[in-house]
Chains A and B, each alone.
Chain A
Amino acid sequence: MATEPTQKPLEEREAEFRTMSGQPIEPLYGPERAPADPDESIGRPGAYPFTRGPYESMYRGRLWTMRQFAGFGTVEETNERFHYLLGHGQTGLSTAFDMPTLMGYDSDHERSLGEVGREGVAVDSLDDMEQLFDGIPLGGVTTSMTINAPAAILLAFYVLVGEQQGVPAEKLGGTIQTDILKEYIAQKEWCFPIEPAMRLVTDMIEWCSENMPRWHPVSISGYHIREAGSTAQQELAFTLKDGFTYVERALERGLDVDDFAPRLSFFFNAHIDFFEEVAKYRAARRIWARELRDTYGAKREESMRLRFHAQTAGVSLTAQQPLNNVVRTSLEALAAVLGGTQSLHTNSFDEALALPTEEAVRVALRTQQVIAFESGVANTPDPLGGSWFVEQLTDEMEAAAYDYFARIDELGGMVEAIRGNFPQREIADASFAYQREVDERRRIVVGVNDFVAEDEAETPILRIDPALERKQADRLAATRARRDPAEVERTLAALKQAAAGEANLMPPILEAARARATEGEMISSLQAVFGTYTESPVF
């Protein structure tokens, strides 16, 4: 006689099992859970609704891009790190900018004091961008740039470096983050109020759709939402809703969805709850495909095909017993790969302490190479597809996202929801609840609240030489001295005038960048028209 398949064993370790984001896990998943319409909801890799992956052959055709995020100090140090990474088999570049650059302050601004080159590289003008990519043919690499509020300015610098190398804008490949909505939600690096910031994003989408067919002008990012303490469901829902908002703005501008949607890409976190993460990526693809087709009228499959970059969860790294982070990062990276990522950054084990050392960065890159070349997991598309557990988690993830979409719509859409602090409050609540679980040891973090080591050796960390700040200020002074001040003034005045009107801001930004106006000068000119942003924080 067959036993009841879902019968609970007499004793289980826990009264209830949940994912790290709180989704209850049942005692067993079996064939009674199989989706009723697998062709419709799961389909085949490379075909609508892309649940199993954006491409038919997935990693059999081409592995994901191993793209380690790097940037610290001045452009010379970062340029050296770029050459180092390319020399070790990395296949794409990814630039981290320092806080002043992200906030639109030049390195000699008083707010920049102590921050220059600390968390990324300082870039003030076209001079710096030229040095940053020195010796790197931009026609032969793809570059990702993590910058948002001032994204249009950094893109202009990059386009001009390409031009100098003889690579026209239409041949440049890469991604610039530009996702300003998640800044107000989570990462909190802004320059302008929400509406003018949205106009700049839309200007970039429009300009890139006409001039940079190989470029991704927006990378719609859940990474920072998750790092701010959200659940996987919140990360998924808020990110996709941000994406729909950009689509709506571009449609209002009169663009054809099939002209720009194929160039939108995504950036998700790869956190430690393995199956939940895989389900999140699969649900993201399915929802995006459906909404682009049914709500926004996309006709081309490329518009419906969600492609994403993933980064392992910085927030999951522990300062205690840091070598354990290599293991965490491996599991997270594996989830991203089994979830079908197009590119991947693996964090270094020492990043809870400081920016990574060269050795730690190498181990992180090697982690991806072991997964790609030794583990065998890249040999077939979506190897977890059809798992009763994974398919159900995917469905539940999708349902949770639609619940949030409805709540945000009731609030009047994402911009209004952000103004009302809705996503910010949801994240703060989730983040606090998680921390309580850790504090109360209802959730074990190895080395932190259990399995603690008393005699930990100190880990060598990367120190940023404080003299770099002076060096960068000198570089900037030299730029200011060399350029034609009348031309700078003229182009900045033109930028201001354009900002007051409705024209696309990319052309006047390119002109000012060419005249070697600094990032800070351009941002100040725009702020004179747009104003600035102050948050009323909730906790």
Chain B
Amino acid sequence: MEAAIARKIRVVVAKPGLDGHDRGAKIIARALRDAGMEVIYTGLHQTPEQIAETVIQEDADAVGLSILSGAHMTLVPRVVELLKAQGVDDVLVTVGGTIPAEDIPELKQLGVAAVFTPGAGTDEIVDFIRSGAEERHSEQHMS
């Protein structure tokens, strides 16, 4: 093999806001880890500031925001803005949780790459993050 060992995909799984529903976040974190990725799980009750800082410090390829409190329209835009303000615009941002269908277009317009709602399979999520992150890696390689 000619290429050096590929850098592992790094993903931050984050729980913004105050809700304690972490079943989904933990399942996804584990599925991503089992798929060979480096997973940083922030734990609960994170502020958007804490999450943005973690994403930057960890040089993450992707961040998954898990929200089941209904506060997504407040918290997600804030995380995206904070990342942009720090010049980070190539991190794949995904959202999971109880997100009503009518909120999805607005989230996507903000720059959210995908929204996974209840019933989404873990394989689907793992594949999405892998292909998004690989794209980021190859772009970084070219630049």
CB contacts under 8 Å to A, within B114-143, are 117-119, 121-123
Question: How many angstroms between the C-alpha atoms of A496 and B63 in the bound complex?
Answer: 41
Q: How far is the CA of A536 from the CA of B118 in the complex (A)?
A: 26
Residues of B within 8 A of A105 (CB): 18
Q: Could you give, for residues 36-61 of chain B, a 1 whenever the CB lies within 8 Å of some chain A CB and a 0 otherwise?
A: 00010101110100000000000000
Chain B residues with CB under 8 Å of A436's CB are 122
Q: What's the minimum C-beta distance from B33 to chain A, rounded to whole angstroms?
A: 8
B44 touches A111 (CB 8 A): no
Cα of A354 to Cα of B100 in the assembled complex, Å: 7
Question: A114 with B123: in contact, given A229-B23, A432-B30, A539-B41 (CB under 8 Å)?
Answer: no
The answer to whether B98 touches A354 (Cβ under 8 A) is yes
Contact mask for chain B residues 88-106; partner A; CB cutoff 8 A; 1 contact, 0 none: 0000000000101100000
CA distance A464 to B70 in the complex (A): 9
A539 nearest CB neighbor, chain B only: B26
Q: With A114-B75, A119-B70, A319-B118 in contact, do A188 and B44 touch (Cβ < 8 Å)?
A: yes
Q: CB-defined interface of A332-353 with B at 8 Å, one 1/0 digit per residue?
A: 0000000000000000000011
Chain B residue numbers with a CB within 8 Å of A99 are 17-19, 69, 71
Q: List chain A residues, Cβ under 8 A from B39.
A: 539
CB <8 Å contact, A353 and B27: no
A537 B98 Cβ-Cβ under 8 A: no
- Encoded as 1 (CB less than 8 Å from any B CB) or 0, chain A from 86 to 121 comes to 000000000000011011010000011111001100
* Known A353-B100, A464-B70; contact A111-B117, beta-carbon cutoff 8 A: no
Q: How many A-B residue pairs lie within 8 Å, measured between CB atoms?
A: 107
Contact of B119 among A319, A428, A458, A539 (CB under 8 A): A319
Interface of A is mostly: loop
A7 within 8 A of B: no
Question: Bound complex: CA of A353 vs CA of B22, how far in Å?
Answer: 17
Interface presence of A41 (CB below 8 A) = no
Complex interface: chain A residues within 8 A of B31 (CB): 432, 435
* Residue B74 lies at the interface, judged by CB distance under 8 Å to chain A: yes
Tell me the complex Cα distance, A315–B98, Å: 12
Contact of A187 among B20, B75, B122 (CB under 8 A): B20
**Bound CA span A449–B124, Å:** 13
Closest chain B residue, CB of each to CB of A118? B70
Is A6 interfacial (CB 8 A cutoff)?
A: no
Q: 1/0 per position for A228-262, CB-CB distance to B under 8 A? A: 11000000000000000000000000000000000
Q: How far is the CA of A435 from the CA of B24 in the complex (A)?
A: 10
Interface flag for A455 (CB, 8 Å): no
Q: What CA separation (Å) do A187 and B29 show in the bound complex?
A: 18
Q: Say if the beta carbon of A535 comes within 8 Å of chain B.
A: yes
The interface size bin for chain A is 35 or more
A118 touches B121 (CB 8 A): no
CB distance from A269 to the nearest CB of B (A): 13
Report the separation of the CA atoms of residues A98 and B115 in the bound assembly, to the nearest whole angstrom: 24
Shortest B62–chain A CB gap in Å is 17
CA distance A466 to B18 in the complex (A): 17
Q: Nearest chain B CB to A122's CB is how many angstroms away?
A: 12
- Contact A228 to B22, CB < 8 A, known contacts A111-B47, A114-B75: yes
Query: Complex formed: what's the CA distance from A463 to B75 in Å?
Result: 17
Tell me if B43 and A227 are in contact (CB < 8 A): no
User: Is there contact, CB below 8 Å, between B26 and A114?
Assistant: no
How far, in Å, is A78 (CB) from chain B's closest CB?
15
Contact of A102 among B18, B30, B33, B122 (CB under 8 A): B18
- A431 lies within 8 A of B44 (CB): no
A315 to B27, CA, bound (A): 14
Q: Assuming A102-B18, A431-B27, is B118 touching A352 (CB within 8 A)? A: yes
A301→B108 CA distance, assembly (Å): 60
Q: Is B73 an interface residue when CB atoms closer than 8 A count as contact? A: yes
Asked if A377 is at the interface (CB within 8 A of a chain B CB), the reply is: no
B70 touches A355 (CB 8 A): yes
Contact (Cβ within 8 A) B100 A461: yes
CA distance A320 to B98 in the complex (A): 12
Q: Which of B33, B41, B69, B70 is within 8 Å of A537, CB to CB? A: B41
Q: Would you give the shortest CB distance from B41 to chain A, in whole angstroms?
A: 6
Residue in B closest to A536 when the chains form the complex, CB atoms: B43
Contact B26 A118 (CB under 8 A): no
**Nearest-CB distance from A247 to chain B (Å)?**
26
Query: How close is A271's CB to chain B, nearest CB, in angstroms?
Result: 14
Bound: A435/B25 CA distance, A: 12
B74 touches A114 (CB 8 A): yes
Q: Is A448 an interface residue (CB 8 A)?
A: yes
Distance in angstroms between the alpha carbons of A507 and B14 in the assembled complex: 40
Q: Whole-angstrom distance between the alpha carbons of A229 and B26 in the complex?
A: 10
A318 B119 Cβ-Cβ under 8 A: yes
Residues 474-518 of A, flagged 1 when their CB comes within 8 A of B and 0 if not, give 000000000000000000000000000000000000000000000
Decide yes or no whether A534 CB sits under 8 A from chain B.
Answer: yes
In the complex, the chain A residue whose C-beta lies closest to that of B42 is A537
Q: Contact: B100 with A115, CB < 8 Å? A: no
| Distance of B31 from chain A, by nearest CB (Å) | 8
Task: Name the contact of B71 in the complex, choosing from A115, A187, A463, A535 (C-beta under 8 A).
Answer: A115
Chain A proximity of B99: nearest CB distance (Å): 9
Residue of A nearest to B126 (CB): A439
On whether the beta carbons of B30 and A119 are closer than 8 Å, the reply is no
